[in-house]
Amino acid sequence: MKRSILITGGAGFIGSHVVRLFVNKYPEYNIINLDKLTYAGNLANLKDVENKPNYVFVKADICDFDTILSIFDKYSIDGVIHLAAESHVDRSIKDPFLFAQTNVIGTLSLLQAAKATWEKSGVETKLFYHISTDEVYGSLGSEGFFTEETPYDPHSPYSASKASSDHFVKAFHDTYGLPAVISNCSNNYGPYQFPEKLIPLFINNIRNNKPLPVYGKGENVRDWLYVIDHARAIDVIFHKGRVGETYNIGGFNEWKNIDLIKVMIKVTDRLLGRNEGASDSLITYVTDRAGHDLRYAIDSGKLKNELGWEPSLQFEEGIEKTVQWYLDNQEWLDGVTSGEYQEYYKKMYSV
Ligand code: NAD
Ligand code: TYD
């Protein structure tokens, strides 16, 4: 079936993998990538698909309701995969207003545009798919997992803004009958991640012999999923997920930060031709992040049992591929850290 799918935040880390997967796998769909190109948006992530006939890029702000409404109309949007967001916890601690604006008001503006448009054309065959995070569930002790029934208990301004956006999506489903589905995923890693997040930041710092700032004692635990496995899960949920449901996505792959960092150092040192562990001396313990959640761990049994999704990559393979990618793409990394990419695309899209 010919579909017109609006993917928001498609120039970001996860969004670019979702856009690539959909453009290549579904030539019969029109994929409209809508992105504001904030510091985190980078069209260089999508060079390999930018000339495909089923791909369009639109530079717009999800908070600009009139523009969003006109895009729904212009492209006859019948499906939304909503990833656009401010996504970094440390930035949210510094500027919570921006997170409320983008993540809450931006999501509300998309929901309202979908509702207004689809009320006229009929909601059958339509879907609003909201991409969220496991961080909405708060923090775990040393035992247990987040399930879809775990009560929301966000601690950071980032997770509070994502929790709020999830509630708005549920409210639009329950109040107006908007066909909606939500997924909450654990920490992603892989190519094209902005080097402010742990894994690409540390690979880049090891490469440049710069300190590796470990928050607190490095004892916090995260459940890491290779980004392409997240994109595969999004594909499955978009096509087969039950409307009104939430699906948790995780890697069953928990790592204490300091253990993960030691693995990253070993792999990066080896691939750089250094002695494995030579960069251990770069580890620098720094003041802990305020409100730092101790442990996240996802039970993705529902997604596996209902829709048959499982992660495809073992962590050892994923981290090796990831480190190799950043070392092979130093131009991308240097471009992003120098801000060159934004200058280039600002000129291209005259902003
Ligand atoms: P990212 O920061 O790499 O990308 C976000 C994208 O959104 C960028 O391209 C940016 O330009 C765009 N954007 C920001 N504000 C916008 C606005 N007002 N209008 C239009 N576009 C805007 O983020 P990511 O890591 O790829 O995360 C994508 C989504 O997945 C987010 O909703 C995030 O909450 C969720 N998520 C991320 C992770 C993770 O580990 N990174 C895990 C679970 C869920
Ligand atoms: P991050 O990649 O920011 O993801 P999130 O906060 O969404 O989980 O951080 C992952 C973990 O690594 C988290 O426990 C914080 C920690 N961390 C550091 O210790 N040092 C750093 O420089 C960064 C960016 C994160």
In sequence order, what are the residues at sequence separation of 6 or more whose Cβ sits closer than 8 angstroms to the Cβ of residue 194? 12, 13, 39, 40, 42, 88, 200, 336
> Does the pTM of the predicted model rise above 0.95?
yes
The identity of residue 275, as a single letter, is N
Distance from the CA of 272 to the center of ligand 1, in angstroms? 30
Is residue 224 helix, strand or coil?
strand
Ligand 2 pocket: which residues have CB below 6 Å? Answer: 89, 187, 197-198, 201, 213-215, 220, 222, 257, 289
∠ CA 191-197-202, rounded to 5°: 80
Domain extent listing, the chain: 3-189+224-252+291-314
Q: Which residue, by CA, sits nearest to atom 32 of ligand 1?
A: 83
Q: pLDDT in tens for each of the 351 residues of the chain?
A: 689 999 999 999 999 999 999 999 999 999 999 999 999 999 999 999 999 999 999 999 999 999 999 999 999 999 999 999 999 999 999 999 999 999 999 999 999 999 999 999 999 999 999 999 999 999 999 999 999 999 999 999 999 999 999 999 999 999 999 999 999 999 999 999 999 999 999 999 999 999 999 999 999 999 999 999 999 999 999 999 999 999 999 989 999 999 999 999 999 999 999 999 999 999 999 999 999 999 999 999 999 999 999 999 999 999 999 999 999 999 999 999 887 777 776 666 554
Q: Give me the DSSP letters along 131-148.
A: EEEGGGG----SS--B-T
3-state secondary structure 256-287: EHHHHHHHHHHHHHHHCCCCCCHHHHHEEEEC
* Burial group, residue 271, by CB count within 10 angstroms (0-12, 13-18, 19+): middle
Q: What is the CATH number of domain 3-189+224-252+291-314?
A: 3.40.50.720
59: Cβ below 6 Å to ligand 1?
A: no
Rounded CA separation 58/77 (Å): 13
Q: Which helix (H) or strand (E) holds 4?
A: strand 4-8
Rounded CA separation 298/248 (Å): 7
Do β-strands 212-215 and 246-249 pair in parallel, antiparallel, or remain unpaired? Answer: unpaired
Distance from the CA of 197 to the center of ligand 2, in angstroms? 6
